[in-house]
Amino acid sequence: MSSMTVKTNRAARPLALFGTLLTLLFSACQKKDELPTPTASIDAVKGDMSTNAVGVTGPKTVCYVEVNNYNFNNVGKYSLSTGEPLFDIGIIFAANINYNTSTQRATLFFNTQVTNVLNNRATTIQPVQARGIKVLLSILGNHQGAGVSNFPSQAAAREFAQLLANAVNTYGLDGIDFDDEYADYGTNGTGQPNSSSFVYLVSALRELMPNKIISFYYYGPAASRLSYNGVTVGSKINYSWNAVYGTYSAPNVPGLAKANLGPAAVQITATSASTATSFATRTKTDGYGVYMTYDLPNTNSSTYLSGISNALYGKSTTYTP
């Protein structure tokens, strides 16, 4: 099933003309492309997967918020009946990889809505983090030919990774999420996906952010380019989850265990409550460590989310506006 069919809100994103541009060369440097010696693991970063970020035994619950439509701080308004936050990770959806045709450089772009969330973090992000919820920034293509899968060299990937790390540090975020959609590779004369690009990118980002979260929305060309020169993407990232809403299918990411994977993909505004609850039951029964949701609206969704939380944690969900 195509992304245009199953992720209509994601597909509807405009090519915004306003925002913050951070410039990156798709470098022409002839430096030899070599990956560092693979590390044994990043268990110290991944942490204890038996409990979620807020200390409740069970899978971690992840929530993407389409900030073009909804308020990000809604993530922090949902609690379990015993008071703990429902969500472990909230993801700002989404920043973009744009392409400057004059300089032939990729750029990190924040549209008006993302800029508003980041610049007003005291009211949009920090209250969420104050509850113990981790906040990530999702990185997405923007129909201009630039994406996570076509960096032409290790140097180019490193430079873009530096921009991402700078954004995390500037805005006090907890990590980066990668979504390899809507790049339209080849547009504007850009290259097609290659086998090294995504591995180079996550390797460089892990070096720059040794204690932050890196996640992968399992979709697009990057999903079939997860190993290069003996290094796996799974050895560098924390989590990956299924991306086709309304389906249950575990990502195949070498280097990640079940505790770091999410087979359930639920769109809150579209996936039926019975399906969402069924997927939660399966996630727990099958021993997976992540449950992924998308499209949290501004309206009270506690009844819908209670089906999920009761299955995952044996506790209902409450909403505090």
- Among candidates 251, 256, 268, which has minimal Cα distance to 307? 268
Distance CA 257, CA 211 (A): 19
At residue 46, the pLDDT reads: 46
Query: Torsion angle of alpha carbons 85, 89, 91, 97, nearest 10°?
Result: 170
What is the DSSP code string of 190-237? PPPP-SSHHHHHHHHHHHH-TTSEEEEEE-SGGGG--EETTEEGGGT-
SS3 letters across 290-318: EEEEECCCCCCCHHHHHHHHHHHHCCCEE
Q: What is the band of 230 on the pLDDT scale with cuts at 50, 70, 90?
A: very high
Q: What is the band of 18 on the pLDDT scale with cuts at 50, 70, 90?
A: very low
Give yes or no: 34 in active site. no
Q: Other CB atoms closer than 10 Å to residue 148's CB: what's the count?
A: 28
User: Per-residue pLDDT averaged across 9-13, rounded?
Assistant: 43
Residue with tokens 């450089």, as numbered in its chain: 105
CA angle 70–263–93, rounded 5-degree value: 25
Q: What is the pLDDT of residues 89-147, one digit of tens each?
A: 999 999 999 998 998 888 899 999 999 999 999 999 999 999 999 999 999 999 999 99
At residue 220, the pLDDT reads: 98
Tell the CATH superfamily of the 51-319 domain: Glycosidases (3.20.20.80)
The answer to whether the beta carbons of residues 121 and 25 sit under 8 Å apart is no
The answer to whether the beta carbons of residues 14 and 66 sit under 8 Å apart is no
pLDDT above 90: residue 52: no
Q: What is the pLDDT of residues 255-309, one digit of tens each?
A: 999 999 999 999 999 999 999 999 999 999 999 999 999 999 999 999 999 999 9
Q: What is the band of 55 on the pLDDT scale with cuts at 50, 70, 90?
A: low
pLDDT above 50: residue 187: yes
Q: What is the band of 3 on the pLDDT scale with cuts at 50, 70, 90?
A: very low
At residue 100, the pLDDT reads: 87
At residue 21, the pLDDT reads: 39
Domain extents for the chain?
A: 51-319
Q: Which position among 34, 84, 181, 207 bears the catalytic label? A: 181
Handedness of CA 255, 241, 167, 15 (dihedral sign): positive
At residue 54, the pLDDT reads: 61
